[in-house]
Amino acid sequence: MVMDLSTTLTAIAGFVWGWPLMCLLIGTGLWFTVLLGGLQFRLLPHALWLAFIKRREAAGAGDISHFQALMTAMAATVGTGNIVGVATAIAVGGPGAVFWLWLTGLLGMVTKYAEALLAVKFRIVTPNGKMAGGPMYYIEKGLGQKWLAVLFACFTVLASFGIGNLTQANAVADGLHATFGIGTHHTGVVLTVLSGLVLLFGIKGIARVTSVLVPFMIVFYLVITIGVLWVNAQSLLPALSLIFQHAFTPTAATGGFAGAVLSQTIRVGLARGLFSNESGLGSAPIAAAAARTNHPVIQALVSMTQTFIDTLLVCTMTALVILTSGAWTQTGPNGAGMTGALLSSTAFSSVYGAWGGQLATFALVLFAWSTLIGWGYYGEKALQYLAGDKAIPLYRTVFVLIVYLGSVVRLETAWTLADIFNGLMALPNLVALLFLTPVVAAETRAYLAKRD
């Protein structure tokens, strides 16, 4: 029965994340890239300046600053996918998968821009005086399709318990147990208490934590990856050559790598990239809507940098560590090629020795916990849309209890369910983005005219 359920869910996930959805996600990014004249390339320096250099308190309505909104969204995005997901993409699709992962980042930046713009444009002030926005609001107010907004909110609540909770808590508990021998029960208790304390204070509490945690964990991760690349500097150009060479040609079997056909390389690269940066899924604009700003485009530009950092910086560093170390061609304890966390930790261990696995695990724990608290906010706001403010205490209680459950119980179907609900979130959101194109274009023109 369990095998039948697992097989059925895997088939559903494969259908949801099939070529139609991936083409729609990539196509939406391509559409806005052409429509807005490559805005993500032209205005990236300006966006980075707004996010990390300007940093002064903006005028206008909102609960948190531009930077805090960005860090909250980045907390939910920079997660296990940046370490485990990238390793899986290379293990299944070969080096060429990294090229297609980059493509999701390059096009995903402008999709993230459009999402955040609409989230700020159509946000509301709730009865408790807080901002609320995201796809459910721009679907209802912009498209006038309440039923579709409700559908998106339902999928988001369900996804918050899957990709945002069970899988992340399980990754933390498993990593600490495998590397340091810490019991999953102990991890579950600590993780539950910490998560509950952060979520108790709502978006302002989450923003305070993520604005410190996210910069620290990203800088820490970049430092340890640069260390590996410094030692393996002679392998850097050959690794880049492999990425471009096998982006358009099959990858032959070598060592522990079983080989990959081109369609497999493209599909896994796109899927892992989109899963990592979440561009088009509709999650990040929920955080963007809380930002203090007087123009939707300003926060949209800030939000755009999230995809750049997540995919084109953090994921790229993971990929280069794996490729330059040669770990992707090695065999694991079972004699087969390695994948996931084992592949990543092996790559780090090639330079740091026994410390490599510990450093990789520490990074994974930070990434997973940040994702957990970020998604806790997403699910809370989605349920608030469905049931009002009175549902928030109940949601927080259930969410932190599931944190413990995810730490101590191995749920084989959790990742598959997470994939399904993430994909189902994307469908109504992408429909809204495409139909609300005139709003995105008009707001962008107005801002650029004023800026010029």
The answer to whether 303 touches 116, Cβ cutoff 8 Å, is yes
Structure confidence by residue, pLDDT tens digits, 109-136: 999 999 999 999 999 988 888 888 999 9
Share of the chain above pLDDT 90, in %: 55
Where do the structural domains in the chain lie, given as residue ranges? 15-330+340-451
For 15-330+340-451, CATH gives 1.20.1740
DSSP-derived 3-state class of residue 119: helix
Tokens found for residue 77: 């995005």
Instruction: Tell me the three state secondary structure of residue 284.
Output: helix
Asked whether the predicted pLDDT for residue 1 surpasses 50, the reply is no
Average pLDDT, the chain: 89
Full-model pTM: 0.93
Q: d(Cα 448, Cα 452) in Å, to the nearest integer?
A: 6
3-state helix, strand, coil in the chain (%, to 5): 80, 5, 15
pLDDT surpassing 50 at residue 2:
no
Q: What is the pLDDT of residues 9-18, one digit of tens each?
A: 888 888 888 8
What would the mean pLDDT of 325-337 be, rounded to a whole number? 82
Q: Which two tokens stand for residue 37?
A: 């004249």
Query: What percent of the chain is modeled with pLDDT above 70?
Result: 96
Q: What is the DSSP string of 297-317?
A: HHHHHHHHHHHIIIIIIIIHH
> Distance between CA 336 and CA 383 in Å, rounded?
44
User: Residue 283 and residue 292: Cα distance in Å, rounded?
Assistant: 18
Q: Which of helix, strand or coil describes residue 283?
A: coil
Compute CA distances 122 → 117, 367, 451, whole Å: 9, 30, 22
Structure token digits, residue 149: 């907004």
Residue 244 CB neighbour total at 10 angstroms: 13
